[in-house]
Amino acid sequence: MRATVDRAGLDPQGRLPKVQVRRIRKGDLSRVRDVLEQTFGDFLERQLGTRPRQAFGGAQYVHHRWLMEPWGCFVAEEDNAKIVGAALAATWGSVGQLGPVAVLTNYHNQTIGQQLIRAVQDFFDENKTTLHGVVTYPTSPKHLALYHKFGYRPKSLTAIMSRTLDRGGARGVTKPAKAGLSVRRFSSLEETKKKASLARFHKVTNAICRGMDLSKEVEIVDGLALGDTLLLEKGRALVGFAIYHTPGVSEAPAGALYVKYLGIDPVHKRVEHLEQFITAIEDLGYELGVHRVILPVYMRYWLAYSTLIKCGYQIDFTMIRMQKGKQEDYEDPSHLVLDDWR
Q: What pLDDT tens digit does each residue of the chain (342 aa) get?
A: 233 333 344 444 555 668 999 999 999 999 999 999 999 999 999 988 888 888 898 999 999 999 999 999 999 999 989 999 999 999 999 999 999 999 999 999 999 999 999 999 999 999 999 999 999 999 999 999 999 999 999 999 999 999 999 876 544 444 445 568 999 999 999 999 999 999 999 999 999 999 999 999 999 999 999 999 999 999 999 999 999 999 999 999 999 999 999 999 999 999 999 999 999 999 999 999 999 999 999 999 999 999 999 999 999 999 999 999 976 667 899 999 999 999
Q: What is the DSSP letter of 27?
A: G
> Could you count the other beta carbons within 10 Å of the beta carbon of residue 141?
9
pTM of the model: 0.91
Helices (H), 49-164: 62-68, 112-126, 141-148
Buried/exposed code over 270-306 (b: 16+ C-beta within 10 A; e: otherwise): eeebbbbbbbbbbbbbbebebebbbbbbbbbbbebbe
Query: Which pLDDT value is given to residue 328?
Result: 61
Query: Which pLDDT value is given to residue 167?
Result: 72
- Please state, in angstroms and as integers, the Cα–Cα distance from residue 261 to each residue in 22, 118, 213, following that order: 30, 27, 11
In 3D space, the residue among 133, 130, 120 whose CA is nearest the CA of residue 94 turns out to be 130
221, 245 contact by CB (below 8 A): yes
Q: What is the DSSP letter of 166?
A: P
- Separation CA 91–CA 97 (nearest Å): 6
Query: Which pLDDT value is given to residue 330?
Result: 77
What is the phi-psi region of residue 315: left when phi exceeds 0, alpha when psi lies from -120 to 50, beta otherwise? beta
147, 323 contact by CB (below 8 A): no
42, 55 contact by CB (below 8 A): no
Q: Which helix (H) or strand (E) holds 321?
A: strand 314-325
Sign of the CA dihedral running 36, 38, 40, 41:
positive
Beta bridge partners of 227: 245
- Separation CA 78–CA 62 (nearest Å): 20
Longest dimension (CA), the chain: 75
Strands (DSSP E) contained in 224-300 are 227-234, 237-245, 256-264, 292-298
In 3D space, the residue among 185, 184, 160, 167 whose CA is nearest the CA of residue 290 turns out to be 167
- Separation CA 257–CA 288 (nearest Å): 8
